[in-house]
Amino acid sequence: MKTQIFKSFSDFSNRENKEVNGVTQEFADNNPSWAEEKNNKGCWNCSDCSGCSDCSGCSRCSDCSDCSGCSRCSDCSDCSDCSDCSDCSDCSRCSHCSHCSNIFKVVRVEKNEIPAFPEIPVIENIHQSILAAVENKNALDMSIWHTCDTTHCRAGWVVFLAGEAGKKLESQTSTQFAAMQIYKKSSPIRVMPVRFFDDNEKAMADIIRCAEEEKALQPS
User: What percent of the chain is modeled with pLDDT above 90?
Assistant: 35
Chain segment 16-40, per-residue pLDDT in tens:
888 898 888 988 898 888 888 888 8
Domains of the chain: which residue ranges? 126-217
* Distances, alpha carbon 144 to alpha carbons 100, 153, 166, 200, in Å: 22, 6, 17, 11
**Given this model, what pLDDT does residue 175 score?**
87
pTM above 0.85, yes or no: no
**For residues 47-56, average pLDDT:** 77
- Which residue would you say has higher pLDDT here, 129 or 21? 129
Q: Determine contact, residues 55/73, Cβ cutoff 8 Å.
A: no
Q: What phi and psi values does residue 182 have, to the nearest 5 degrees?
A: -65, -40
